[in-house]
Amino acid sequence: MAYAQPHPRLSVVSNSSQSSVDHLSPTTTSTRFSLPSVPSTHTAVSTKPGLNRPNIYDRNLNKTRGSEVSGAAFAFLFSEVVQYTQKRVSGINDLERQLNTLGYRIGTRVLELMVWRAEGSSKAPKREIKLLSVLMMIHTQVWRAVWGKAADAIERSVENPDEYMIIDNDPPIERHISVPRDMSQLSCSSFTAGIVEAVLDGLAFPARVTAHNTPNAQFPNRTTILIKLEPSVMEREELLK
């Protein structure tokens, strides 16, 4: 049976790195170099008052559905991610590609969590197989799960029937980003584009997703997420009509 190769955006530990880890593992070295065992401090710490906090992995995922993350904390973290990535790329296109890759990894987890919650809360969960239904789910449910609000509009290209656009007039990811003049073409919403691309891939609607700045007088941070679908998706849509 042939197994599918892992997606290039998802990092995989190579065999060589695994062997090097095993080589450096204390369990594989000689006993004369072994360190004395250290008594566990878990019991001592847990007995102190005020430190008996529940493990985050023990929380019910359905109960955390409505929880929110500090906007200031996210803005600080994301700005550090952008600065860290910027120092390791050669241009704007490379920077947007890296942000897209990071968003793709988040998108796979968002889809997994949404599917798990849907199956747990519904007696008869269903999977969307129509393109328009999937796009509306991304426009509403995915946007609300990630950004706390739905996107503002979804449009289809007049010239190219395989292109769709999700428009966000005030993306939260852009509110605290100050782009230099020499990088005016940069769209940090490439991170969001990666999330959308991962969700589409996971639902068997492969596409190439990019982010573009489309400001106007009323919304200076207006962003358009452009979805370019694969020919196989359009062929399947024709068969389902």
Fill in the amino acid letter for 14: S
Rounded to whole angstroms, how far apart are CA atoms 209 and 200?
9
CA nearest neighbour of 226 among 217, 203, 200, 218? 200
Q: Which residues fall within 8 angstroms of residue 105, CB to CB, at 6 or more apart?
A: 9, 10, 194, 198
What's the pLDDT tens digit per position in 160-172? 999 999 999 999 9
67 has a pLDDT exceeding 80: no
What's the pLDDT tens digit per position in 69-99? 788 888 899 999 999 999 999 889 999 999 9
* pLDDT reported for residue 77: 92
pTM for this model (two decimals): 0.74
Rounded to whole angstroms, how far apart are CA atoms 142 and 227?
15
22 has a pLDDT exceeding 60: no
Rounded to whole angstroms, how far apart are CA atoms 127 and 24?
46
64 has a pLDDT exceeding 80: no
The residue ranges of every structural domain in the chain are: 17-58, 71-240
Q: Using CA atoms in the order 55, 59, 64, 67, what is the torsion angle rounded to 10 degrees?
A: -10
Class of the domain covering 71-240: alpha beta
